[in-house]
Amino acid sequence: MKRILAPVLLAITGFGALGALSGCEPQKSQPSAAQVSKQKADAVSKRKVQAVQAKIKDGTYQFAELPKENLYTPYRFTTALGEFTTGESYLAGGGKSETDPNAWTGFKIDYTYKNTTNQPQDAVKAFSRVFRVQTMQIWQPTKLKAIKTISTFSGYHGMDGPRTEQDARRIANRGKLVQPGESIDVINAYGVSAKVYANNAPKKKIKKMAPLNYTIDVLADPDSKVVLKRYDAEIVWRFD
């Protein structure tokens, strides 16, 4: 009888020990609701980026330099928000009062906007979402950063009559909604405050004037933030 009971007791004891060991194994923690939500958002974001990159590859979204006109080189870019063709970028602002919060130095840029989407678009807002100024260089060796969009500005008031008329028309078009398939001529302005400009001025007088230019990132799609093109453009010197 003892010979029979011994193996049975051993088996029972073994199963009990195994159960105790398995109970000690750490349980895998389940991802939190926040982690699951983030994973889903990351997956959606990745698909958006891939979709935009595919449209760049097939030529739906594109950037191209156009033939040089007088003192500047226009360029055209087609994005998720429409097609933009730039005109002249010219020196503007020229603020000298460091205590005046409205005084600024920078450039104005002409552009023609064509709404290629299926919804009405604000030409200024659409342009600002895809046209990101990274740096600006005006008469100084230092490339200024943190360039801001100037929301309120006057038109050209120099001796070039046609330029004055163009600015007046383009400024009047700011804020107008553009219907799908329609085009409109507009103007935007970018720069830094007079105080920021003065703080970055060289301490010693420079012998050679630095060039006038700016660098932009053109976004193919502002939601995915995919950069279509990084581009260096010239600023025309005008007596504004």
Alpha carbons 125 and 138: distance in angstroms, whole number: 25
Tell me the average pLDDT of the chain.
Answer: 87
List residues bridging with 110 in a β-sheet: 187
CA distance 113 to 25: 64
Residue 17 has pLDDT above 60, yes or no: no
Catalogue the E-assigned strands of 81-225: 82-92, 104-114, 121-122, 131-137, 148-149, 177-178, 183-193, 213-221
Q: What whole-number distance in Å separates Cα of residue 1 and Cα of residue 177? A: 98
Between CA 110 and CA 162 the distance in angstroms is 13
**Tens digits of per-residue pLDDT, 135-163?**
999 988 889 999 999 999 999 988 999 99
d(CA 38, CA 32): 10
Query: What pTM was computed for the model?
Result: 0.82
Question: Whose structure tokens read 């003892």?
Answer: 2
Instruction: Give the model confidence (pLDDT) of 192-205 as tens digits.
Output: 999 999 998 877 76
User: How many other CB atoms are there within 10 angstroms of residue 240's CB atom?
Assistant: 18
Q: What is the pLDDT of residue 206?
A: 66
Strand extents, DSSP E, the chain: 62-65, 75-79, 82-92, 104-114, 121-122, 131-137, 148-149, 177-178, 183-193, 213-221, 226-234
User: In this structure, are residues 66 and 75 in contact, taking their beta carbons and an 8 Å threshold?
Assistant: yes
pLDDT at 96 over 90: no
For residue 90, list its beta bridge partners: 108, 236
